[in-house]
Every structure is written in structure tokens, then in C-alpha cells.
Amino acid sequence: MTPSGPILLAIESSCDDTSVAVLDGFEVLANVVHNQVMHEAFGGVVPELASRAHTEAILPTVKAALARAGKDFQDLDGIAVTQGPGLLGSLLVGHSFAKSLALSLDIPYVNVDHMEAHMLAHFLYESGVQEKPIPGFPYLCLTVSGGHTQLVQVNAWNDFTILGETQDDAVGEAFDKAAKLLSLPYPGGPIIDRLAQKGQPAFRFSQPNMPDLQFSYSGLKTSILRAMQKEVKEDPESLTERVSDWCASIQEALIAPLLQGLTLAASQTGIRRVALAGGVSANSHLRAEVQGLAQSLGWDLYLPPLSYTTDNAAMVGAAGQFAWAASQFAEMKDAAQPKRIVHG
């Protein structure tokens, strides 16, 4: 990667986080994430509230990112923005803002696919932080978030082959729904992760039988619910008194198919460069298990720093830098797209 490149302002607003980053090439000068906390009370993201909150947060977050990076609007060479997939109302806020700013500063902007950005976060670096290796192409990427569960062969920055994916719910969604069954707040993934560290995987759930490299989480969710109902009949306080054991059991059951899928994908493709991406890649059990697999199977493993696992604008900047280098500039008529924009 070039040590210095265009200065890009990157904007991410696809779901419930307003995030703005400033990048010099692939170096992250600032990455500000404004989390919307009001969704916690509803147990999930309320789209209308999310877009209203983005409207309020976008300008202060842009100003905060520029200030942290020590840059001004006039220093920007261009803008990278998430075009999709995501909630339309939320995307529109960031995308329209990016277009207006590009127009007023008379600089180009580039469109970024949110999921591709997650997978390209491995190319980011920060000054003063120990340099880590970046993956060469092709690499396998397990992309696990609140909306996606995919095994992807990343052939190039703009060439992605989906080897397998969930046929129903995403694994992050399953974490969040299981947490709700335990009366834990949204988003449940990080809380299950934390509580699981104090528990044992004492409860078992039936796993679905899926064909090669495909995943399914809706049946597993029902099987978790059934197991809870059965246990509560015998021990009414089980869900609170043994909450850590429930979390450890749920976490193990949700992660196991991912480990199997990743192992199979690596052996089928012969690719030994393996990466994780997306919010669920922050999960400590997943990270530890994949590290164990990498050691025993001889993979080169690329784990994103925790700050680049959940939604953030720095990853949008990484994808933006690739698009910029390829002169793939966007046009003013381009609109936000709630569905995946597939490359490759």
C-alpha cells in the first residue's frame, strides 16, 4: 500500500451507527463512531429513529473526525460513502450528505458496499500502532455481522466469490435474539460474549443439517428457545441464576457451524489465507477457536482489530481508497441502495 495517498473523508450510516473517518491512503487519521443508544429500549434497531438520529449526528461527527485528524474541509481530496446495503432511511442520510459535500467542495466521491468494506478493513493501519501483515489475494473471509453470514473468497478488492451463506437469519441476529430470550439488552452479542467467559457450555441444542458451506440459524434459535422452556420447568430460576452457562452454551452453538464451514472452505479451495470480518468477528470465543485452527492447519490468519470489527467508517475509507486508485468515481445521479451491490 502507498504510505500516503489521497485524503478521504469516509462516511458510514447504513444501520444504527453514524461513523466518520479521515484517511491518508490506508492510514487512519481519525475514526469516530457515534452509537445510537435509544434502540436498546426497543430490543432492536427502529429504522425511523435511526435515520432521525443520523440526521442529527452526521455534521457533528464529520466535524469531530476532521478535528481529530487535524484536517479541514479544504484538505480533503475526496469522499467515500456507504451506498448500501442497509436501512434505506439511514443510508440516505450519509449518502446525501456525501454528495452535497462533494458538490460544494468540488471534489469526487466514491460509492462503497458495506459488506465489501468489512472485508477490506484488513488493509487499514494506524501510525504508532505495531504494523500487522495484510492479506494477499485471494483470501478467505468469514463475514459475520447482524445482517450477514457469508464465506467469501476475496479474489481482488472488487472481485468476491460467495462460497456459502446463511439461508435464513444471520449469526449476529441469532446472538441478539438469544440475548433477548435471556432478557439481556440489545445488542446481545457483546454481552453474551462477556457473560460466557464466566460460564460453562452445559446446555446442548440440536444443530441443523446443512449442505456444504451453507448456514442456517433460524432452527437453532428455536431449539435454544425449546431448551430454555424445558429447563425452566425444572428450574424456574435457571435463566437468571445460570445466565453465564446459557451464554457459554449459546455462544458455542452459534460459533460451531462457522468453524466447520471455514475449515471446509479452506480445504476445498486450498486457500490458506484466512480472515474474519464483521461485528461477530469481535467474539472472543470465535477468535480463540480460529487461532487454534490456524495453528493446527497452518493458516495465515488475519483478525481485524476490535475497533474495525463492528460498523465503522475507516473500513469504508479502505474500500474507498481501492476504488479511488482504480478511478471508479461515483456520479451525482447515484442513489443509496438498500440491497447488496455485488462486485465480482
Number of residues that bind Zn ion (CB under 5 A): 2
Q: Which stretch binds ligand KG4 (CB under 6 A): 47-55, 189-197, 292-300, 319-327?
A: 189-197
From residue 273, alpha-carbon distances to 42, 138, 258, 319, 335 in Å are 40, 8, 16, 19, 35
Pairing of strands 300-302, 273-277: parallel
Between 101 and 250, CB nearer to ligand KG4: 250
Helices (H), strands (E): how many in the chain? 10, 10
What's the rounded Cα separation, in Å, for the pair 177 and 184?
A: 9
- Could you say whether residue 279 binds ligand KG4 (CB under 6 A)? yes
CA 275, 306, 192, 14 torsion-angle sign: negative
Binding partner at 149 among Zn ion, ligand KG4, none, C-beta below 5 to 8 Å by kind: none
Binding ligand KG4 (rule: CB under 6 A), the pick from 31, 193, 257, 303 is 193
- Could you say whether residue 166 binds ligand KG4 (CB under 6 A)? no
Stretch 296-335 residues interacting with ligand KG4 (CB under 6 A): 310-311
Q: Which stretch binds Zn ion (CB under 5 A): 29-37, 253-261, 288-296, 307-315?
A: 307-315
Between 16 and 24, CB nearer to ligand KG4: 16
Pair 117, 336: CB distance under 8 Å? no
Between 117 and 253, CB nearer to Zn ion: 117
Minimum distance of ligand KG4 from residue 173's CB (angstroms): 6
- Could you say whether residue 283 binds ligand KG4 (CB under 6 A)? yes
At position 192, the amino acid (one-letter code) is I
Binding ligand KG4 (rule: CB under 6 A), the pick from 89, 278, 304, 317 is 278
Minimum distance of ligand KG4 from residue 164's CB (angstroms): 18
Cα 284 to chain centroid, rounded:
15
Binding ligand KG4 (rule: CB under 6 A), the pick from 25, 78, 89, 147 is 147
Between 29 and 255, CB nearer to ligand KG4: 255
Pair 193, 282: CB distance under 8 Å? yes
Binding ligand KG4 (rule: CB under 6 A), the pick from 32, 282, 303, 319 is 282
Between 175 and 322, CB nearer to ligand KG4: 175
Strand partners, 215: 166
Binding Zn ion (rule: CB under 5 A), the pick from 17, 113, 169, 311 is 311
Pair 344, 161: CB distance under 8 Å? yes
Number of residues that bind ligand KG4 (CB under 6 A): 19
What's the rounded Cα separation, in Å, for the pair 132 and 122?
A: 9
What's the rounded Cα separation, in Å, for the pair 335 and 337?
A: 6
Q: Which stretch binds ligand KG4 (CB under 6 A): 54-62, 152-160, 185-193, 327-335?
A: 185-193
- Could you say whether residue 13 binds ligand KG4 (CB under 6 A)? no
Report which of 143, 219, 221 is spatially closest to residue 176, judged by C-alpha positions. Answer: 221
| Phi, psi values for residue 157, rounded to 5° | -60, -25
Minimum distance of ligand KG4 from residue 114's CB (angstroms): 6
What's the rounded Cα separation, in Å, for the pair 73 and 91?
A: 22
Site pattern 139..178 for Zn ion (x: CB under 5 A): ------x---------------------------------
Spatial neighbors of 61 by CB under 8 A, at least 6 apart, are 18, 19, 20, 32, 34
Spatial neighbors of 108 by CB under 8 A, at least 6 apart, are 78, 79, 102, 324, 329, 330
Sites of contact with ligand KG4 (CB under 6 A): 15, 145-147, 172, 175-176, 187-190, 193, 278-280, 282-283, 310-311
Applying CB under 5 A, the residues found at the interface with Zn ion are: 145, 311
